[in-house]
């Protein structure tokens, strides 16, 4: 398909991204709301938040919608997803800043427009980092937070290697949810997600970025040696966080971890 100079409907793209994800993860937005409840309970009404691996900005958008005095910095290394976030959140004006950066690279924090944050949040983004990089990232996040600031990581984190048999139970629960019709199989989700990219592929300014993305996707392999949940918690404690805990746990993988500086 040859890219045309046409403007996708950016807000619609973010809405479609949300509804697609709800199908495979029915509690996703309840979980996001819960994360926002935690922010409301622990931060002043005027706060700054950093969203790591924001994608098209679903979590960042919810923060600025719910907290009219909050400002967010959204970061991602993928220019096409970040473009959707930037355009879809344009109505929020200067309260939203987007920065293209790779948080696995040393010194990434120097590209941020702010030096300190009340909150660092992230959803479905850090699972691809190998152990050593996760520990380094946690130390950087700690350094970016104000005293009393919070880090919230919502991700597919491996529950616990020690609990034999429970993993199989979770797999059966997932199958039951698919049979009962409130969750779609992962393959169906991935097929629909492919279709989600179509309007972006027709947008000429993103042509090169998407070609690069496709090349990387072809050779991408999941990293070896990612953390399980207990290791995440101890790595956060070693990074200096004074309180660390699992505040949401859903089946064997969807967790929200809270760490307070």
Give contact residues for ligand SAM (rule: CB under 6 A).
53-55, 58-59, 76-78, 81, 102-104, 123-125, 128
CB closer to ligand SAM out of 59 and 145 = 59
The DSSP element (H or E) to which 165 belongs, if any, is none
**Least distance to ligand SAM from the beta carbon of 130, Å?**
11
Residues β-bridged to residue 50:
73, 120
**Least distance to ligand SAM from the beta carbon of 34, Å?**
14
The DSSP element (H or E) to which 11 belongs, if any, is helix 10-24
**Least distance to ligand SAM from the beta carbon of 131, Å?**
15
CB closer to ligand SAM out of 131 and 237 = 131
Task: Identify whether the C-beta of residue 129 lies closer than 8 Å to the C-beta of residue 226.
Answer: yes
Distance CA(56)–CA(29), nearest Å, equals 15
CB closer to ligand SAM out of 58 and 252 = 58
CB closer to ligand SAM out of 58 and 149 = 58
Q: Measured between alpha carbons, how far is residue 106 from residues 145, 200, 226, 244 in Å?
A: 18, 30, 19, 25
Q: Could you say which DSSP state residue 168 is in?
A: H
Sheet of 145-156: strands edge to edge?
96-100, 71-76, 48-52, 117-123, 145-156, 254-260, 243-250
Task: Identify whether the C-beta of residue 71 lies closer than 8 Å to the C-beta of residue 49.
Answer: yes
**Least distance to ligand SAM from the beta carbon of 242, Å?**
26
**Least distance to ligand SAM from the beta carbon of 59, Å?**
6
CB closer to ligand SAM out of 123 and 239 = 123
């Amino acid at each position: 398909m040859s890219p045309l100079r046409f403007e996708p409907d950016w807000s619609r793209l973010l809405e479609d991204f949300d509804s697609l994800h709800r199908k495979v993860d029915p509690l996703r937005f309840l979980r996001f709301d819960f994360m926002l409840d935690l922010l409301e309970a622990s931060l002043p009404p005027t706060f700054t938040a950093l969203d790591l691996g924001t994608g098209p900005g679903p979590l960042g958008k919810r923060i600025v919608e719910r907290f009219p005095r909050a400002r967010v910095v959204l970061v991602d290394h993928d220019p096409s997803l970040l473009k959707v976030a930037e355009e879809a959140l344009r109505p929020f004006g200067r309260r939203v800043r987007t920065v293209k950066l790779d948080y696995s690279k040393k010194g990434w924090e120097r590209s941020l427009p702010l030096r300190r944050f009340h909150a660092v949040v992230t959803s479905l983004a850090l699972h691809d980092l190998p152990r050593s990089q996760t520990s380094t990232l946690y130390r950087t996040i700690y350094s970016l937070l104000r005293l009393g600031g919070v880090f919230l990581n919502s991700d597919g984190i491996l529950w616990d290697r020690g609990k034999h048999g429970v993993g199989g139970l979770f797999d059966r629960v997932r199958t039951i949810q698919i049979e009962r019709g409130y969750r779609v199989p992962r393959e169906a989700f991935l097929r629909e997600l492919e279709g989600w990219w179509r309007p972006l592929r027709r947008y000429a300014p993103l042509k090169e970025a998407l070609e690069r993305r496709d090349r990387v996707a072809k050779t991408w392999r999941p990293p070896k040696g990612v953390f399980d949940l207990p290791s995440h918690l101890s790595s956060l404690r070693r990074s200096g966080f004074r309180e660390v805990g699992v505040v949401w746990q859903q089946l064997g993988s969807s967790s929200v971890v809270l760490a307070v500086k």
